[in-house]
Amino acid sequence: MKTVWVIDGAYLFSYGRSRPFDYLKLKNELVRLSGGPIHESYYLNSTRDPADDARNAFHTWLKSAPPRGPKIRVQLYQLKDVHLTCVNCNHQFDREVQKGVDVGIATLIVKLAAQNLYDRLILAAGDGDFEDAIDYVKSERHKEVWVCGSQANLSADLQSYADNVVWLEDLHPAIDKGA
pLDDT at 79 over 80: no
Q: Does some domain include residue 87?
A: yes
Q: Does some domain include residue 179?
A: no
Percentage of the chain beyond pLDDT 70 is: 92
Weakest-pLDDT range from 30-39, 65-74, 78-87, 134-143: 78-87
CATH number at residue 81: 3.40.50.1010
Q: Measuring CA to CA, how many Å separate 31 from each of 40, 58, 77, 176?
A: 12, 22, 28, 16
Contacts of 63 (CB under 8 A, 6+ apart): 69, 71, 72, 73, 74
Q: Does some domain include residue 178?
A: no
pLDDT per residue over 130-172, tens digit each?
Answer: 999 999 999 999 999 999 999 999 999 999 999 999 999 999 9
Please give the mean pLDDT across all residues of the chain.
Answer: 92
Q: Does some domain include residue 86?
A: yes
pLDDT at 44 over 90: yes
pLDDT band, very low/low/confident/very high, at 70 (cuts 50, 70, 90):
very high
pLDDT band, very low/low/confident/very high, at 179 (cuts 50, 70, 90):
low
Query: Are 25 and 174 a contacting pair, CB within 8 Å?
Result: yes
For the chain, the first-to-last Cα distance in angstroms comes to 30
Q: Does some domain include residue 34?
A: yes
Instruction: Name the 3-class secondary structure at 171.
Output: helix
Total domains present in the chain: 1
Instruction: Name the 3-class secondary structure at 26.
Output: helix
Structural domain of 52: 3-171
Q: Does some domain include residue 97?
A: yes
Of 87 and 168, the structure prediction assigns the larger pLDDT to 168
